[in-house]
């Protein structure tokens, strides 16, 4: 898809100037913090000049040149690898603050920006990673997500909001883009017309969110025509700006406006705002130019072979056979109408090394592929043909990215946790790795239809609320001594424009969580009826309370002298010490 060139020179020049003022001691600490956050630069728990840099990839889209540059960034600015997030960003840690302007210039040269990737602004516009290649979509949301990103970048209303504002797109009701827990979730739908044809458009959902207090999104109206989509999103944004809580950050998201006003009143105010928006100089009515140029024709249904949509019967296990056959059965999605062949590249924990970035860039060029980040921290190569799949697998195998991990139990999602985040109380990445290893050893890593997500605190950056099996970090105290623990949640699900948040089960020692995951996945694999989802199995087994009763023995803290490892978190060498600093991310 053709994208407009981003004009970022003024942003970078201003960052250079403000940074110089700050280093010279002539700029207030709080003012500079707000400024750098709006430019995608976060502080880390290590303090000092170590920063996390978040790079936007709207709807996950990346080019070969961008992948190549990301490899260079990992090597020259960070610690040799980068991290893919659940909102289709790329993060690099331990970047020195003084080098940020230099890095921003390199990113801008290949069309990437960190602008408004953080702070109280419109964040990265996320979207279904199979948009334009999915056999179920009503329309291709890719140009719509691009138009939304372009419209709100630098938008005056998008700079100093009461709190951050998140927009997601899905091309059909399957909702792989996860519209149901965002401030604005856009889903492709169609409506019948009087002449017997149908009109493609959207259903817009508003007021959703995760965090420590998850809220489901609500439909704004039954159908939003294509020429009204951007005015509708802007109207929601303006209403949030007018009525969001600017006095209490903990209750400042749009979901709290729903609680305060009620959804009916919020709908009324949004639609009233949209009706008068035509008078604004920023009115974005009509079909965006980028949609007119690129088109939004759907991929079309493959009546012979189609991928499994969210909520449909799920594969019991990956197919038998050699490495290539197993990878193909789990990671390849085919839709015939556009000749769309897509292959998911598994990136454990969302981590990609400099060398892997470089080879992925070469693969993108050699295969003429279109690459996107998924919201499960993987990559997907799109626009392929079936005959190139063996070469793709062979080259992925050479860089350790050919694991059949897509939508299987081993595809564990985790936030950065206490490795770098000020708000995390546990090492979520370490637990994710331990769970993956335990599932491999138990022969359960290939089980399909079960999603495991982990957050290092209650704020759900790892999206634990919507996982089949979710964990969030929690400090425990045993005989007055701090110890790393997790709250287990079961039965979360998002799909088919519905959402169910996981129910609380047990609070477990961190070191007992891998065994809990093994038991749960094992029971699910052994007991479910063919094609049943985890939620269906959970309900048939008596629900969260009944299933978690079988794990009660794991909620046990051995004596520190008997099991000192229970009092040391994953990836740590000394006794557990809960350390929480001032938040700059999701929970602040």
- CB contact at 8 A, 381 and 396: no
Rounded mean pLDDT of 221-235?
A: 98
Q: Are residues 457 and 544 in the same domain?
A: yes
pTM summary value: 0.94
- Boundary (domain end) residue, out of 398, 423, 458: 398
Rounded mean pLDDT of 552-566?
A: 94
| Residue entry with tokens 């919201």 | 375
> Per mean pLDDT, which range of 112-126, 312-326, 339-353, 355-369 is the poorest?
312-326
pLDDT at 578: 83
- Beta-carbon contacts of residue 136 (< 8 Å; ≥ 6 apart): 171, 172, 174, 301, 306, 309
CA distance 481 to 54: 36
CA distance 508 to 521: 17
**Is a pLDDT exceeding 80 seen at residue 305?**
no
Q: Are residues 388 and 435 in the same domain?
A: no
Per-residue confidence at 339, pLDDT binned at 50, 70, 90?
A: low
Query: Which CATH number goes with the domain that contains 67?
Result: 3.90.480.10
pLDDT per position as a tens digit, 269-302: 999 999 999 999 989 989 999 999 999 999 865 4
Per the domain annotation, does 309 fall within a domain?
no
298 CB-contact burial (10 Å; exposed 0-12 / middle 13-18 / buried 19+): buried
Q: Are residues 438 and 562 in the same domain?
A: yes
- Boundary (domain end) residue, out of 109, 125, 151: 109
- CB contact at 8 A, 54 and 114: yes
Per the domain annotation, does 3 fall within a domain?
no
Q: Are residues 270 and 344 in the same domain?
A: no
Q: Are residues 15 and 150 in the same domain?
A: no
pLDDT per position as a tens digit, 41-78: 998 887 778 999 999 999 999 999 999 999 999 999 99
Per the domain annotation, does 459 fall within a domain?
yes
**Is a pLDDT exceeding 80 seen at residue 33?**
yes
Per-residue confidence at 312, pLDDT binned at 50, 70, 90?
A: very low
Adjacency order of strands within the sheet including 469-478: 413-414, 452-455, 469-478, 481-490, 503-509
- Boundary (domain end) residue, out of 398, 425, 443: 398
Per the domain annotation, does 583 fall within a domain?
no
| Full residue range of the structural domain in which residue 438 is found | 413-567
Write down the H helix ranges in 24-136.
29-38, 64-76, 100-109
pLDDT per position as a tens digit, 128-149: 999 998 888 999 999 999 999 9
Per the domain annotation, does 580 fall within a domain?
no
Q: Are residues 215 and 279 in the same domain?
A: yes
Per the domain annotation, does 61 fall within a domain?
yes
**Is a pLDDT exceeding 80 seen at residue 584?**
no
Per the domain annotation, does 466 fall within a domain?
yes
Top-confidence residue, 405 or 298: 298
pLDDT per position as a tens digit, 445-458: 999 999 999 999 99
Q: Are residues 143 and 212 in the same domain?
A: yes
Rounded mean pLDDT of 556-566?
A: 92
**Is a pLDDT exceeding 70 seen at residue 315?**
no
- CB contact at 8 A, 493 and 466: yes
Per-residue confidence at 573, pLDDT binned at 50, 70, 90?
A: confident
DSSP class per residue in 252-302 = -SHHHHHHHH-HHHHHHHHHHHHHHGGGSTT---SS-HHHHHH--------
Positions of E strands within 385-491 = 413-414, 452-455, 469-478, 481-490
What is the average pLDDT value for the chain, to the nearest integer? 92
**Is a pLDDT exceeding 50 seen at residue 306?**
no
pLDDT per position as a tens digit, 232-275: 999 999 999 999 999 999 999 999 999 999 999 999 999 999 99
Q: Are residues 461 and 336 in the same domain?
A: no
Task: Report the 10 Å Cβ neighbour count for 571.
Answer: 15
Q: Are residues 393 and 428 in the same domain?
A: no
Which residues are bridge partners to 122 per DSSP?
165
**Is a pLDDT exceeding 90 seen at residue 381?**
yes
Q: Are residues 486 and 519 in the same domain?
A: yes
pLDDT at 145: 98
Query: Which CATH number goes with the domain that contains 140?
Result: 3.30.413.10
pLDDT per position as a tens digit, 195-205: 999 999 999 99
CA distance 184 to 230: 11
Task: Report the 10 Å Cβ neighbour count for 211.
Answer: 17
Rounded mean pLDDT of 480-488?
A: 95
Rounded mean pLDDT of 149-169?
A: 96
Please give the tally of structural domains in the chain.
Answer: 4
Q: Are residues 356 and 287 in the same domain?
A: no
- The tokens for 393 are 């697998």
Rounded mean pLDDT of 482-511?
A: 96
- Beta-carbon contacts of residue 483 (< 8 Å; ≥ 6 apart): 475, 476, 477, 509, 510, 557, 566, 567, 576
**Is a pLDDT exceeding 70 seen at residue 303?**
no
pLDDT at 583: 62
pLDDT per position as a tens digit, 412-440: 999 999 988 888 999 999 999 999 999 99
Positions of E strands within 401-457 = 413-414, 452-455
**Is a pLDDT exceeding 90 seen at residue 397?**
yes
Range among 5-14, 228-237, 474-483, 523-532 rated most confident: 228-237
Per the domain annotation, does 245 fall within a domain?
yes
Q: Are residues 151 and 251 in the same domain?
A: yes
């Amino acid at each position: 898809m053709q994208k407009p060139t981003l004009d970022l020179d003024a942003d970078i020049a201003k960052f250079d100037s403000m940074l110089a003022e700050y280093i010279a001691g002539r700029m207030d600490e709080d003012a500079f913090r707000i400024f750098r956050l709006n430019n995608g630069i976060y502080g880390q728990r290590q303090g000092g000049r170590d920063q996390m840099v978040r790079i936007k990839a709207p709807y996950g889209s990346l080019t070969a040149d961008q992948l190549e540059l990301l490899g260079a960034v990992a090597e020259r600015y960070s610690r040799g690898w980068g991290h893919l997030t659940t909102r289709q960003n790329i993060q690099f840690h331990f970047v020195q603050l003084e080098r940020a302007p230099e890095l921003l210039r390199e990113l801008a040269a290949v069309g990437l920006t960190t602008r408004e990737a953080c702070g109280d602004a419109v964040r990265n516009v996320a979207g279904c990673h199979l948009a334009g290649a999915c056999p179920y979509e009503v329309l291709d949301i890719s140009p719509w997500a691009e138009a939304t990103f372009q419209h709100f970048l630098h938008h005056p209303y998008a700079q100093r909001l009461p709190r951050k504002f998140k927009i997601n797109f899905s091309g059909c009701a399957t909702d792989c883009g996860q519209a149901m827990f965002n401030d604005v979730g856009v889903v492709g739908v169609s409506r019948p017309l009087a002449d017997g044809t149908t009109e493609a458009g959207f259903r817009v959902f508003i007021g959703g969110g995760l965090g420590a207090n998850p809220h489901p999104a609500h439909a704004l109206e039954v159908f939003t025509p294509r020429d009204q989509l951007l005015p509708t999103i802007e109207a929601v944004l303006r209403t949030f700006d007018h009525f969001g809580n600017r006095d209490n950050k903990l209750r400042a998201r749009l979901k709290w406006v729903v609680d305060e006003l009620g959804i009916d009143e919020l709908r009324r105010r949004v639609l009233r705002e949209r009706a008068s928006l035509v008078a604004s100089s920023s009115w974005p009515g009509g079909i965006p130019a980028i949609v007119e140029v690129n088109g939004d024709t759907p991929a079309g249904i493959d009546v012979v072979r189609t991928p499994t949509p969210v909520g449909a019967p799920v594969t019991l296990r990956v197919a038998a056979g050699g490495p290539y056959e197993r990878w193909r059965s789990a990671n390849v999605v085919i839709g015939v109408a556009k000749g769309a062949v897509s292959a998911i590249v598994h990136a454990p924990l969302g981590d990609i090394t400099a060398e892997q970035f470089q080879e992925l860039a070469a693969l993108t060029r050699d295969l003429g592929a279109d690459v996107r980040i998924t919201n499960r921290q993987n990559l997907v190569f799109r626009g392929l043909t079936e005959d190139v799949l063996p070469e793709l697998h062979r080259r992925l195998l050479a860089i350790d990215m050919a694991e059949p991990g897509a939508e299987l139990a081993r595809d564990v999602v985790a936030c950065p946790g206490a490795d770098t985040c000020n708000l995390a109380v546990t090492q979520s990445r370490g637990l994710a790795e331990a769970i993956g290893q335990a599932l491999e050893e138990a022969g359960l890593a290939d089980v399909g239809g079960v999603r495991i997500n982990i957050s290092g605190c209650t704020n759900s950056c790892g999206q634990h609320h919507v996982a089949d099996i979710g964990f969030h970090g929690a400090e425990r105290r045993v005989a007055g001594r701090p110890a790393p623990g997790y709250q287990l949640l079961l039965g979360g699900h998002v799909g088919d424009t519905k959402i169910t948040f996981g129910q609380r089960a047990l609070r477990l020692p961190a070191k007992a969580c891998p065994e809990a995951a093994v038991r749960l996945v094992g029971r699910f694999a052994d007991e479910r009826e063919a094609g049943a989802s985890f939620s269906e199995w959970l309900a048939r087994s008596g629900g969260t309370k009944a299933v978690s009763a079988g794990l009660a023995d794991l909620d046990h803290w051995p004596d520190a002298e008997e099991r000192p490892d229970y009092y040391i978190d994953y990836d740590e060498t000394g006794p557990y010490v809960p350390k929480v600093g001032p938040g700059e991310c999701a929970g602040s």
